[in-house]
Amino acid sequence: MQQEIEDYELNTFVEKVRNLSSYDFTDYSDKSLKRRLAKVLFDNNLDFHSFIERLEDNESFLEKIVKDITVNTTELFRDPPVWNSLRYDIIPLFKDKKEINIWHTGCSTGQEVYSMMIMLNELDLFHKANIYATDINPDVLETAKTGIYKYRFNLTYLDNFDAVIRQNQAGEYEDVDYSKYFSIDKTRDIIKIHPFLIDKPVYKKMNLVQDVNPFPVSYDFIICRNVVIYFNYDLQNKVFKLFYDSLNSPGCLVLGVHETILGPLASQFEKKNQAYFKK
């Protein structure tokens, strides 16, 4: 059974990581950090004391723990209603621009990035888009670059594809086959994204806690979904300020369905459908 993490254990862990590495979980939300830490201890079959000793002695163990602490769950067209809102209400507002700059931050293994490019292609805007994608975890970025995912484990991808790409606003299914964008090899149990999509994004490791906008551009869209939910109020505000400063005007920020802008930056954005537009 997973053990409960005490406050002093959480503080010790955060302080150790901060002192031993360039990672800083100080402003992550205590609740989710405790949950992840309990899981990490359980998975590694370690009590807290031995865990801290190992962090101190073993740099690659520390790197591994940082990756385990940051949740990487994602999927193709995660939350289909959000993608439908992007497709019909939000992205078309930018269709007359010469270029559309999009930053996916906390992109994990890339499914969100591919969802966006598939949608842009359906809207005939793919050629205008510059796609930038970042994450704190270099391993997930390497997976993103391959565009290869498990098939059987990810059958929802096909349902989501149908709900967002095949189904039109009248609820009818159009004749768009997934094979336009990815192939499925059932024997090898893989989904493989086509090269024209794999080749487009520019990926970079970036830590939202401390880094600045890593690309020399400002963006029409910043997509940061299911990332700030792990941050406390102060860190969320810091990150929203970074996004505000990095957006064009007009430009918009898309957060996860359980995330909201509260605090000082709230008055600088206007929420329309699923997006926060910079005022």
Ligand X SMILES: C[S@@+](CC[C@H](N)C(=O)[O-])C[C@H]1O[C@@H](n2cnc3c(N)ncnc32)[C@H](O)[C@@H]1O
Query: Which residue in 227, 228, 252, 255 binds ligand X (CB under 6 A)?
Result: 227
Judged by CB, which is closer to ligand X: 35, or 97? Answer: 35
**Closest C-alpha to 252, from 267, 269, 227, 239:** 269
- In the DSSP assignment, the letter for residue 246 is H
Task: Pick the piece of the chain touching ligand X (CB under 6 A) from 71-79, 174-182, 196-204, 214-222.
Answer: 71-79
Is 73 a binder of ligand X (CB under 6 A)?
A: yes
Rounded to a whole number of angstroms, the distance between the first and last alpha carbons of the chain is: 49
What are 173-176's contacts with CB under 8 Å, separation 24+? 176/122
| Site map (CB under 6 A) of ligand X, residues 249-278, x = contact | -------x----------------------
**Closest C-alpha to 105, from 199, 277, 245, 242:** 242
Task: Pick the piece of the chain touching ligand X (CB under 6 A) from 36-44, 131-139, 181-189, 263-271.
Answer: 131-139
**Closest C-alpha to 78, from 180, 163, 179, 174:** 163
Task: Pick the piece of the chain touching ligand X (CB under 6 A) from 10-18, 57-65, 70-78, 183-191.
Answer: 70-78
Is 144 a binder of ligand X (CB under 6 A)?
A: no
Is 86 a binder of ligand X (CB under 6 A)?
A: no
Query: Which residue in 119, 136, 164, 255 binds ligand X (CB under 6 A)?
Result: 136
Is 140 a binder of ligand X (CB under 6 A)?
A: yes
Coil/strand/helix, residue 254? strand
What is the arrangement of strands in the sheet containing 219-224, beginning at the earlier edge strand? 202-205, 129-135, 100-105, 219-224, 247-255, 275-278, 269-272
According to CB under 6 A, which residues from 6 to 65 bind ligand X?
Answer: none
Main-chain dihedrals φ then ψ at residue 221, nearest 5 degrees: -135, 135
Q: Smallest gap, in angstroms, from Cβ of residue 259 to ligand X?
A: 10
Residues that bind ligand X (CB under 6 A): 70-74, 78, 106-108, 112, 135-137, 140, 206-209, 225-227, 256
